[in-house]
């Protein structure tokens, strides 16, 4: 059976062949434990890990010592939020985040609420951006952390991270950001953006699943974290557990390639995305979700009036693989919390489609996606006899 065209790159991406080639020797040849520093097998594995750590650090203008490897962005988010909550408990129990964050941020915050922490969930405007004045007003003397993602995983909206970081540092509050969707796609600078903690993952940028990282600032200020996994003391004692060199090397290679191709890929994907939106916008009752410009170049999220959301996705499936929102919540029948936060009514939020373009998305694929989407919308509306 021929698979549909893949347009779900915010969910995950295929491992680039060049990344796989870099990983393979670390399964069978350089297979040592990087913590075994008494022989050549360990040294070889450690060298691969060290190089990857340097690549990732340089990509965000950090030092290698500030990169802590995790199993992915979900663990990195949990480590950042719970780690700060525990380490700074005596200074305050107030945390600020945003209503449109990934569940990997919202759920840890809700867990902390059950322990007595006070969580402020900032709303977003109709375009998905937060109001900076609302953020300023939300910060209190007992606020210990602000967590705002760089780029939203559903609507692709890029928040004003540098301004948020400046506000946090002026108020002497730690700033964490989930950059899972942003690494190697848009410029990131933890120094220039005043970021104290940054969550990263490999599989959104053509690297392997199961590997991520947390950037933890070491000076101005030095961030303290309570470890969530105790054991052998790896990763400066912040995240114990034997490191997995094949994944880490793959992560580094994926970031390296992403940086090399970032600007040309961003422009190419933006042109394809804009072509699709130009066609969809000519249909009545089709709405763009999120800011039209301040968004990831490969993201297009639309809501369609007059159709059933499930039927829309099923109608697209034979030709294109897309989703209605976050892959982590794809089994839920409830409308996306991100789309509803924009002020969309429930029916419209349920009839949303996320197109995630990527490195291997071709012009021909976009043409087929446009044709299938337009045909499906017309077909469903005709079947429902709905006038839009």
Q: Which pLDDT belongs to residue 123?
A: 98
Q: Give the per-residue pLDDT at 334.
A: 79
CB atoms inside a 10 Å sphere around CB 110 = 13
Residue in this structure with the two tokens 């097998």, named with its chain if needed: 41
In percent, the amount of the chain with pLDDT more than 70 equals 97
List, for residues 114-139, the tens digit of each pLDDT value.
999 999 999 999 999 999 999 999 99
Band of pLDDT at residue 331, cut at 50, 70 and 90: low
DSSP string, 326-373: -GGGTT--SPPHHHHHTT--HHHHHTEEEEE--TT--HHHHHHHHHHH
Q: Which three-class secondary structure state does DSSP give residue 31? A: coil
Question: 81: part of which helix (H) or strand (E)?
Answer: helix 73-87
- pLDDT, tens only, 246-268: 999 999 999 999 999 999 999 99
Domain residue limits, the chain: 5-12+262-374, 17-256
Give the model confidence (pLDDT) of 54-94 as tens digits.
999 999 999 999 999 999 999 999 999 999 999 999 999 99
Q: What is the mean pLDDT of residues 36-50?
A: 95
Mean pLDDT of the chain: 95
Give the Å distances, CA to CA, from 59 to 158, 213, 287, 297. 18, 13, 35, 19
Q: Rounded to whole angstroms, what are the CA distances from 368 to 12, 45, 108, 311?
A: 21, 45, 40, 19
Strands (E), the chain: 5-6, 67-70, 94-98, 118-122, 143-147, 174-178, 197-201, 212-216, 286-288, 299-304, 320-321, 352-356
Gap between the Cα atoms of 155 and 285, Å rounded:
18
Mean pLDDT of all residues in 227-237: 91
Q: Which residues, in sequence order, are CB contacts of 202 under 8 Å at separation 6+?
A: 208, 209, 211, 212, 247, 250, 251, 254, 255
Rounded to 10 deg, the angle between the 245-280 and 40-59 helix axes is 30
Residue 101: what pLDDT? 98
Q: How confident is the model at residue 40 (pLDDT cuts 50, 70, 90)?
A: very high
The whole-number average pLDDT for the span 205-234 is: 96
Report whether pLDDT(386) > 70. Answer: no
Over residues 166-194, the pLDDT tens digits come to 999 999 999 999 999 999 999 999 999 99
Count CB atoms within 10 A of the CB of residue 69. 25
The pLDDT-based confidence of 329 (bands split at 50, 70, 90) is very low
Report how far apart, in Å, the C-alpha atoms of 98 and of each of 10, 320, 339 are: 19, 31, 13
pLDDT at residue 302 above 80? yes
Please pick, among 9, 109, 168, 328, the residue that the annotation labels catalytic. 328
| Domain covering 17-256, topology | 3.40.640
Active site residue 168: no
Greater confidence, 247 or 328? 247
Which listed CATH number (3.90.1150.10, 3.30.565.10, 1.25.10.10, 3.30.56.10) goes with 5-12+262-374?
Answer: 3.90.1150.10
What pLDDT, on the 0 to 100 scale, is given for residue 324?
Answer: 83
């Amino acid at each position: 059976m021929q698979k549909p065209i893949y347009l779900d790159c915010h969910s995950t991406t295929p491992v680039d062949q060049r990344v796989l080639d870099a990983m393979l020797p670390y399964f069978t040849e350089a297979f040592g434990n990087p913590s075994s520093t008494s022989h050549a097998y360990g040294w070889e594995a450690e060298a691969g890990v060290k190089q990857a750590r340097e690549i990732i650090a340089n990509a965000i203008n950090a030092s290698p010592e500030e990169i802590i490897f995790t199993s992915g962005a979900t663990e990195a988010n949990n480590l950042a939020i719970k780690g700060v909550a525990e380490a700074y408990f005596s200074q305050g129990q107030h945390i600020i985040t945003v209503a449109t964050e990934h569940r990997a941020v919202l759920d840890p915050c809700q867990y902390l609420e059950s322990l007595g922490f006070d969580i402020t969930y900032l709303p977003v405007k109709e375009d998905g951006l937060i109001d900076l004045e609302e953020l300023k007003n939300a910060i209190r003397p007992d606020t210990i952390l602000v967590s705002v993602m760089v780029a939203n995983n559903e609507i692709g909206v890029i928040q004003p991270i540098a301004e948020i970081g400046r506000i946090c540092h002026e108020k002497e509050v730690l700033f964490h950001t989930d950059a899972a969707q942003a690494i190697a796609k848009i410029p990131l600078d933890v120094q220039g953006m005043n970021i104290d903690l940054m969550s990263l993952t490999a599989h959104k940028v053509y690297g392997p699943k199961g590997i991520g990282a947390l950037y933890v600032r070491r000076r101005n200020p030095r961030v303290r974290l309570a470890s969530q996994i105790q054991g052998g003391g790896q990763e400066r004692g912040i995240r114990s557990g034997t490191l997995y060199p094949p994944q880490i090397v793959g992560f580094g290679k994926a970031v390296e390639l992403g940086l090399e191709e970032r600007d040309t890929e961003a422009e190419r994907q933006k042109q394809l995305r804009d072509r699709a939106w130009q066609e969809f916008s000519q249909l009545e009752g089709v709405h763009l979700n999120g800011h039209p410009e301040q968004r990831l170049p490969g993201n297009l999220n639309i809501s369609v009036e007059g159709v059933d959301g499930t039927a829309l996705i099923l109608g697209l499936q034979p030709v294109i693989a897309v989703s209605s929102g976050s892959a982590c919540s794809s089994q839920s029948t409830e409308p996306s919390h991100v789309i509803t936060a924009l002020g969309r009514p429930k029916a419209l939020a349920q009839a949303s489609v996320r197109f995630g373009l990527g490195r291997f998305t071709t012009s021909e694929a976009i043409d087929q996606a446009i044709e299938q989407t337009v045909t499906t919308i017309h077909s469903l509306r005709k079947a429902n006899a709905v006038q839009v």
